[in-house]
Structure 1
Amino acid sequence: MNDSILLTFASHPFTEFMAMLFSLLYIFLAAKGNIWCWLPGFACTFFYTFIFIYHKIDSQVILNVIYMVLSVVGWMIWLKPLAAKQTSLFIHWPASLHLQYFATSIVVALLIRYILPFWFDESFAVIESWLFCASLLASILTIYRVIEAWLYWIVIDIISLGIYWQSQENSILLLYFTSLVLAIYGYDNWNKFRKQDMQQAAEKDNKAVTT
């Protein structure tokens, strides 16, 4: 009986609709720099976990369980105020550091792909494995408000659109396209937030000097 209820919940169109809705709400609020983004972030991964259990996609089940944990971590970290010498909550990482992490994500993706080949569709095994690693990296960067996190999400969404383009699953295509638009908005918005913070910090320093 309980298994039947679980299967019905996981396979119902309403469950997928709610997962998509919470997913887009999470991205929108995150792009706004709003701490409440982590609540729909947790909710959407909760729904997706059951959906992927139903479809027996192990990699996505594990990824979404990790996402749920990261949503809690993200909430806790976003509650913290600015550090003493920090001028903005939104930060940039140097290109050299991103190259190191990008290279690491490729190596880890290849290891996962060959150690756990049953996780991925053979048609896009290496790509899906990299998307798995890149999504985790982008999520962690989002938690720490690294502005370039949105560039990772943009690449992830573009590649995902390419993978699902021939599937004719319009709801999935719409999800990734909307996510792509929101990621572009998020990148622009976080840059604006940082610029505003830097300007305010500079104005405070100038006032301190003149007084």
Structure 2
Amino acid sequence: MDRLLELLALSSPAELVAVCLAIAYVILAIRQSLWCWPAAAISASIYTVLFFTGRLYMESVLQIFYVIMAGYGYWSWVRGREHTHKTLEISQLRWQWHACWALALVAVSLVLGFTLNRYTNADMAYIDTLTTVFSFFATFLVARKVLENWLYWIVIDVVYIGLFWVKGYHATALLFVVYVIMAAIGYWRWRQDFQRNLAYAQPS
């Protein structure tokens, strides 16, 4: 524990602020507060700079994407609901669909990782690219309310724990430990809702 506290003490103030805002985002999102989106945008903006400095270039690109999504999310929550009267329900996709996409994403990650590794000074280019590509994909699944998105996030976040710990972002690595737990809880809750909706849809 003392060693862990020593490592956290070495974390930069910027990283600690980003971690606190990331946690605030999750809590506020659960409470469906609009303030979750500014928290997400500021946290992602800080991480954009941190990861670029740490030569995790694909992670920087991902954080820029998160900033854009935060803006879209805020707009959607404020105005989007005024133009729609339908609620997107949780869906489940066949394992064959996931297998095909997983293979395609791995192939894309290898190509991008090779490019970064050969033509830039990117650090841990292949892992950096793999986690980024799959994070884009998992974010899309969240937006479409696909149940299995949580399973992707569990695997992605576990890899992130190792990546950020090795790179010295210890506070962020601990944040992703929390994310793994929350993803597991998210899968369990969404699965309950999905099964409940199936039961309601079946004729009595």
Instruction: Specify whether residues 189 and 38 from structure 1 end up closer, same or farther in structure 2 by C-alpha distance, changes over 3 A only.
Output: farther
Given that residues 18 and 46 in structure 2 are in contact (C-alpha distance below 8 angstroms), is that contact kept between their aligned partners in structure 1? Answer: yes
2:144 aligns to what?
A: 144
Instruction: Specify whether residues 115 and 61 from structure 1 end up closer, same or farther in structure 2 by C-alpha distance, changes over 3 A only.
Output: same
1:109 aligns to what?
A: 109
The CA deviation at 1:15 is: 2.8
Given that residues 54 and 167 in structure 2 are in contact (C-alpha distance below 8 angstroms), is that contact kept between their aligned partners in structure 1? Answer: no
The CA deviation at 1:82 is: 6.5
Unaligned runs of 5+ in 2: 1-10
Given that residues 147 and 191 in structure 2 are in contact (C-alpha distance below 8 angstroms), is that contact kept between their aligned partners in structure 1? Answer: yes
Q: Structure 2 matches for 1:8-19, cutoff 5 A? A: 13-19=12-18
2:61 aligns to what?
A: 62
The CA deviation at 1:33 is: 8.7
The CA deviation at 1:24 is: 2.8
Q: Count matched residues.
A: 187
Given that residues 15 and 172 in structure 2 are in contact (C-alpha distance below 8 angstroms), is that contact kept between their aligned partners in structure 1? Answer: no
Instruction: Specify whether residues 96 and 157 from structure 1 end up closer, same or farther in structure 2 by C-alpha distance, changes over 3 A only.
Output: same
Q: Structure 2 matches for 1:90-109, cutoff 5 A? A: 90-109=90-109
2:44 aligns to what?
A: 45
For each residue in 1:57-87, what CA deviation from the matched residue of structure 2 results, as whole angstroms up to 9, or x when unmatched? 432222211122233344566755575xx8x
Q: Indicate whether 1:187 and 2:187 are aligned.
A: yes
Note the aligned Cα RMSD (angstroms).
Answer: 3.1
1:157 aligns to what?
A: 157
* Stretch deviating more after TM superposition (172-181 or 63-72): 63-72
2:122 aligns to what?
A: 120
2:3 aligns to what?
A: none
Q: Structure 2 matches for 1:188-207, cutoff 5 A? A: 188-202=188-202
Tell me the amino acid that sits aligned with residue 190 of structure 2.
W
Tell me the amino acid that sits aligned with residue 196 of structure 1.
R
Instruction: Specify whether residues 120 and 165 from structure 1 end up closer, same or farther in structure 2 by C-alpha distance, changes over 3 A only.
Output: same
Given that residues 90 and 190 in structure 2 are in contact (C-alpha distance below 8 angstroms), is that contact kept between their aligned partners in structure 1? Answer: yes
For each residue in 1:121-154, what CA deviation from the matched residue of structure 2 results, as whole angstroms up to 9, or x when unmatched? 2xx4322221111111111111111121111110
Give distance in 2, aligned partners of 1:114 and 1:71: 30
Given that residues 38 and 70 in structure 2 are in contact (C-alpha distance below 8 angstroms), is that contact kept between their aligned partners in structure 1? Answer: yes
Give distance in 2, aligned partners of 1:201 and 1:13: 51
Instruction: Specify whether residues 105 and 18 from structure 1 end up closer, same or farther in structure 2 by C-alpha distance, changes over 3 A only.
Output: same
Give distance in 2, aligned partners of 1:67 and 1:183: 18
Secondary structure in 2 aligned to 1:41? Answer: helix
> Highest CA radius of gyration, 1 or 2?
1
Unaligned runs of 5+ in 1: 1-11, 207-211
Tell me the amino acid that sits aligned with residue 59 of structure 1.
M
Give distance in 1, aligned partners of 2:105 and 2:153: 14
Q: Please report the TM-score for the alignment, with normalisation by the length of structure 2.
A: 0.74
2:71 aligns to what?
A: 72
The CA deviation at 1:157 is: 1.3
Given that residues 150 and 184 in structure 1 are in contact (C-alpha distance below 8 angstroms), is that contact kept between their aligned partners in structure 2? Answer: yes
